[in-house]
Amino acid sequence: MYAVVKTGGKQYRVVAGDKLKVEQMPADVGAEVILDQVLMVGEGESVRLGQPTLAGATVKATVLAHGRGEKVKIFKMRRRKHYQKHQGHRQGFTELKIDAIVG
C-alpha cells in the first residue's frame, strides 16, 4: 500500500517503512506525527483519489532527526559595475520514518 501526501508545499509518494526528508516541522525527535493531507492511496490495481484530499485517510510517521541540508551558494554580479554579492543558504529539514498508512 502506498500513499501520496502533501507536506511543506511538496508532494511525496510514501510506503510503510520509508524514510524521507521533508521541510522542517515543529516536532520533537521520537514524536509521532500524523500527516492528514493525503491526496491518493493505492494498493495494487485499486486507487483512491481525493478531491483534493481523502477524508479519513492519514499517514503515521515518527520523527527521526532534524538537520540542515547542503549549502546552496548564491552569487550575483553586474558586469563592468564592480558589483558582486555572495550569499549562502542551508534549508532545514525533518527526517521522518513512515510507520503506517491508514485509510
pLDDT reported for residue 103: 80
Residue 20's CB is within 10 A of a number of other CB atoms, namely 17
Do the strands 58-68 and 2-7 form a parallel or antiparallel pair, or are they unpaired?
A: unpaired
Which residues of the chain register pLDDT less than 50?
Answer: none
Residue 11 parent element (H or E): strand 10-15
Q: pLDDT tens, 38-54? A: 999 999 899 999 999 99
Cβ proximity of 2 and 42 under 8 Å: yes
Q: pLDDT tens, 72-82? A: 999 999 999 99
